[in-house]
Structure 1
Amino acid sequence: MENSDSGLSGFDVEFLRQSFKRVGVDLKIQYMPWKRALEEARQGRVNGVCSCSQTKERTEFLYFSDPLGKASSGVFSLTKNNFPKLKTVDEIGTRPVGVVRGYNIIENLKEANVPNIIELSDEQQGLKVLLNGRIDFYYTYEAPTRYYLGQQNKSKEVVYHELSFTNYYSCFSKSANGSKTLLKQFNAGLAEIKKDGTYDKILAKYR
């Protein structure tokens, strides 16, 4: 999170900073839309992206670290709409659903032939259009959305329908020099912060 009101940068960013710090690697964070970040990594113009789930397409241009964490994905809807709890994306039907452009979960909507998909630039825009009633569902990852809701005191205005739960990773560009070395260094640092409790302390700040 760039320039957040709380001063927090996001737990994944903190995981990266602390992991690389343990192995003596300087880290420079650049903030950009997710789809652009992936393309920069594909071209080798950045060494990697902060965190991502693993897909067949991404394995063509990315190396994946040891699991960085677990991510719950699903749909948020407004509490006042009182929609029945969804168990699959098929149940969205023809209602408008927002999803961040470039997120791999958009493929789940396309495979289910969901007709009314609204592509969004980032998580904050997605939450904004949901709260404004411009979409019925916001399909995204639970943790960052709950954080933004808490910052805005809007948590009670939405309900969450979990659809899946998967590992996610730190990802390194195969086209960038030294990526295999960075991958090994990162995994070593990540193991250290998990072992000594730093990882859990970071996560606790966002709950």
Structure 2
Amino acid sequence: MKKLHLVALFTLMALLLAACGTDDESNGSGEGEEEEGTTLYKVGIDTTYPPFEYEEDGEYVGIDIDVISAIADNQGFEIEFSAMDFSGIIPSLQAGQLDIAMGGMSITDERKETVDFSDPYFDSGLTLVVNEDNSSITTMEDLAGKTVAVKNGTTGALHAEEHAEEIGYEVKQFNDSPAMFQEVANGNADVLMEDYPVIAYAIAQNDLGLQIVGDRLNGDQYGIAVLKGENSDLLEQINAGLAELKDSGEYDEIMSKYLAE
């Protein structure tokens, strides 16, 4: 009888220990973390990218910041921003250090191999930018024999690389937009390729010594990204929140706040 009692006691203890070990633990696998009953998602941003993401008085501000914050409020989850170079955002997402990737990120077939995009939230497009005294460049064909500045990891960089051999120009890569702007303003590069809203905002806000020339080079759209095949529930929330922002008029309010003419 004592042996039976001992077996029963050990069995009960084993069951209790097993039950204690079944609680889910938060991790960095792109599934968010539980914080006081609310899921916390880490958002990768590039704060050298106004009007979409930049720092002002110690706070992160911009179109992307307002859009994802409004979506989070609408869908009932929390977010935490992680600022980094744009080229490091997708690798950090792949490494499980981020849950959401932004940064004025154009939706491309190449990026779709790694991430899943939300519905588009902004219509953009690349443009050529030259020194304000330059009147010799207005089209891609004018770039033959020139030096083209681009920001590493962007669609501008991809577009420049794709046409460099065909047209015959040199491509110089930079890690941030201000350095790229300065290179052209100083005459160390002849032209840069940048998303139209970004450079239009920068020129309007600062005396950069630059001007936009020619027609848009493409018709890019920006999307919010999550790791491919890993976070479909979060993507559904993002799309639902974005749709509600547009229906309520809050989306238009955010855009007019930063892009009012």
Into which bin does the TM-score normalised by the smaller protein fall?
0.7 to 0.9
> In structure 1, what residue type is equivalent to 2:239?
N
Secondary structure, aligned partner of 2:192: strand
* Higher RCO (C-alpha 8 Å, min separation 6): 1
2:89 aligns to what?
A: 37
| Unmatched 5+ stretches in structure 1 | none
1:151 corresponds to which of 185, 205, 208 = 205
Alpha carbons of 1:6 and 1:27: their partners in 2 closer, same or farther (altered >3 Å)?
A: closer
> In structure 2, what residue type is equivalent to 1:68?
Y
Q: How far apart in 2 are the matches of 1:117 and 1:109?
A: 7
Query: How many angstroms does 1:54 deviate by?
Result: 2.3
Alpha carbons of 1:108 and 1:159: their partners in 2 closer, same or farther (altered >3 Å)?
A: closer
1:78 corresponds to which of 131, 138, 144 = 131
Secondary structure, aligned partner of 1:66: coil
Which segments of structure 1 move beyond 4 Å, counting only runs of 4 or more? Answer: 5-8
Q: How far apart in 1 are the matches of 2:126 and 2:60?
A: 22
2:196 corresponds to which of 122, 142, 147 = 142
> In structure 1, what residue type is equivalent to 2:232?
K
- RMSD over aligned CA atoms reads 2.1
Query: How many angstroms does 1:34 deviate by?
Result: 0.9
| Unmatched 5+ stretches in structure 2 | 1-52
1:104 corresponds to which of 139, 144, 155 = 155
User: Percent identity of the aligned residues?
Assistant: 22
2:117 corresponds to which of 60, 64, 70 = 64
2:144 aligns to what?
A: 93
Query: How many angstroms does 1:115 deviate by?
Result: 3.5
CA contact (8 A) 1:75 1:137 kept: yes
Cα deviation, 1:25-64, whole Å, max 9, x if unaligned, reads 1111111111111211232321121142222332222011
1:26 aligns to what?
A: 78
> In structure 2, what residue type is equivalent to 1:60?
E
1:200 aligns to what?
A: 252
Q: How far apart in 1 are the matches of 2:171 and 2:105?
A: 21
Query: How many residue pairs end up in the alignment?
Result: 202
Q: How far apart in 1 are the matches of 2:112 and 2:244?
A: 26
Secondary structure, aligned partner of 2:120: strand
Correspondence 1:131 to 2:203: no
Q: How far apart in 2 are the matches of 1:122 and 1:74?
A: 17
Alpha carbons of 1:7 and 1:18: their partners in 2 closer, same or farther (altered >3 Å)?
A: same
CA contact (8 A) 2:160 2:193 kept: no
Q: How far apart in 2 are the matches of 1:168 and 1:157?
A: 24
Cα deviation, 1:137-176, whole Å, max 9, x if unaligned, reads 111101122222222144x741333211222211111376
